[in-house]
Every structure is written in C-alpha cells, then in structure tokens.
C-alpha cells in the first residue's frame, strides 16, 4: 500500500517544553489510522503538524513526496481536510453555506462558486445524509447533525486525507457510532485516508486498520489494534487494567476495561 503522508523524525515544543520528540510515521493510502494516548501526550499537536497548522521544530511532514513547508495552506487544503474537536459555530449560517465553505481552496480571490462547486457541495451533503437540512441554520441542529455538516464541509474539499480530532467527544453514544460508521464507509468505498485522534480504545479496535500509541511525546507502539492494544501496553500508556477480547454476540474485537491500575 502506497504511503501518502510520511512523518520523519518530527519534533515540536511549546516554550522549550517538548510535546513531540522524534516521531516517525508512515500513513498509507486508504487506511484508517488511530492516534491514541492520554491527555497531554501530543495527539492534537501531531494532527496540527499534519496539515501545517503548526510547523515542526525538527524533522518534516511529507505529503505525496512534497514537504509541507514548501506548500501553501491553500494547496494543502486541496488534499487534506480537518474535522476539529469543537463544531460550535456562532453565526446563523445555513447548512449549505457551511458545506460550501469547503470549496474555498478552489476559488479565486474574487470569484464565487461554480456549478461544478455546487454539484460537489450537493454530493457531500448527500453522502453524509444531510441534504434534507440544506436550508436549516446550523445553530438549530443537534450535536450529531452539526458533526455531519462539518464532515460534509471537509468532503467538499475533495481531500485525499481526512483528519479528525476527537470526532465523537461531545456526542451521545448512538450518534458516536453513526458518525464513525460514516467515516469508515467513506474510507472503504472511496479510498479516503483517515486519521482519527482519540483516547477511546474500543473505538480504535472497531474502526481503525492500525493504531499508534503516544507516550511521553514519543511513539510507544504502532501496528494493528491486535498488535498494539495488549494488556501490557494499555497498562503502561493508559494506566488501566484492560484486555482485547472477542465480543460473543458479534465476533468483533473489543476492549474490556476493568478499572484503573492505580494503587494495585
């Protein structure tokens, strides 16, 4: 499988305090990759380095063989789309207005959207199941509906890579499955490369082809969920007593957490 994003010896710090230290990662075309780790380990910082919202203090990020530092933000946005941790939008834009914003990297400074742009916007709304809401104001929608709108906006960029930062953080349980089922389907049906930042171990097992664990600002483990989510690794990184096991009802792998290891 071809590599689309190549992270080489990446380091980043805030006020001389290391947040990422020598991270190496090769993201393959069409895979769903989970980045896991406790709060403060550098997950979101890594994601921001993957689309040049932050720039490495050491090492580099390559996109299809080109260093991100040599690409404009507009060029990067044509290949990489982001679904941020928060989907709060304060202004009363319609759903179609929000999704159309995804076409901005393709528009000239003084030109509006073309009929082709509008077709892509409509398609993105159809694929995410929100076309019927196109004239609704986003500030009247539920958290799950808003998250679908933000994903549709990202898809309107027609990206090769989709980055999601804790995409289910503020959603109820059933909506979490709806959103991640959608993301997984987009990867399987359309070859979209997906990177998901999370601390949800069960989510990683269910939806990710590979996972990477971060600990102390470095890569602790990288591989399939079965290879990475061992009891020893979960104890070391998350301080929990947990096992990877088969769900007797559906035969799928899942993570069973028994509790914290603190004091044991």
Structure tokens at 204: 């990683």
Same domain, 115 and 205: no
Model confidence pLDDT, tens digit, residues 35-79: 999 988 999 999 999 999 999 999 999 999 999 999 999 999 999
**Residue 217 located in a structural domain:** yes
Residue ranges of the chain whose pLDDT lies below 70 = 1, 87, 109-110, 263-264
Same domain, 73 and 172: yes
Q: How many helices (H) and strands (E) does the chain have?
A: 9, 12
**What CATH number does the domain containing 74 carry?**
3.40.50.300
Query: What pLDDT score was predicted for residue 1?
Result: 56
Query: What pLDDT score was predicted for residue 110?
Result: 61
Query: Number of structural domains, the chain?
Result: 2
In angstroms, rounded to a whole number, what is the distance separating the alpha carbons of residues 83 and 113?
A: 22
Query: What pLDDT score was predicted for residue 199?
Result: 86
Domain that holds residue 97: 90-158
Q: Please name every residue paired with 264 in a beta bridge, in sequence order, or none if there are none.
A: none
Same domain, 206 and 143: no
Q: Are 255 and 205 in contact (CB under 8 A)?
A: yes
Query: What pLDDT score was predicted for residue 264?
Result: 56
Query: What pLDDT score was predicted for residue 215?
Result: 94
Query: What pLDDT score was predicted for residue 87?
Result: 67
Query: What pLDDT score was predicted for residue 247?
Result: 84
User: If phi over 0 gives left and psi between -120 and 50 gives alpha, with beta otherwise, what is residue 81?
Assistant: beta
Query: What pLDDT score was predicted for residue 201?
Result: 93
In angstroms, rounded to a whole number, what is the distance separating the alpha carbons of residues 221 and 218?
A: 9
């Amino acid at each position: 499988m071809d590599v689309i994003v190549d992270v080489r010896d990446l380091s980043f710090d805030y006020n001389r305090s290391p947040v990422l230290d020598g991270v190496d990662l090769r993201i393959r075309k069409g895979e769903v990759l989970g980045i896991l780790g406790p709060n403060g380990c550098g997950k979101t910082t890594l994601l921001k380095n993957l689309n040049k919202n932050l720039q490495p203090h050491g090492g580099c990020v390559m996109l299809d063989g080109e260093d991100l530092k040599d690409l404009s933000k507009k060029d990067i946005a044509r290949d990489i789309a982001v679904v941020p941790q928060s989907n709060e939008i304060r202004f009363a834009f319609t759903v179609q207005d929000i999704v159309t914003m995804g076409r901005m990297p393709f528009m000239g400074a003084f030109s509006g959207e073309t009929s082709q742009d509008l077709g892509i916007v409509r398609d993105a709304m159809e694929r995410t199941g929100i076309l019927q809401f196109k004239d609704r104001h986003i500030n009247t929608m539920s958290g799950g509906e808003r998250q679908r709108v933000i994903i549709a906006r990202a898809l309107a960029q027609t990206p090769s890579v989709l980055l999601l930062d804790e995409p289910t953080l503020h959603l109820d349980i059933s909506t979490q499955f709806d959103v991640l089922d959608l993301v997984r389907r987009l990867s399987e049906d359309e070859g979209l490369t997906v990177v998901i930042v999370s601390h949800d171990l069960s989510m990683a097992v269910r939806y990710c082809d590979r996972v990477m664990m971060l600990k102390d600002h470095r890569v602790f483990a990288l591989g399939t969920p079965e290879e990475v989510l061992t009891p020893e690794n979960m104890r070391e990184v998350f301080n929990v007593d947990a096992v990877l096991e088969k769900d007797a009802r559906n035969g799928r792998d899942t993570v069973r957490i028994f509790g914290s290891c603190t004091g044991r």
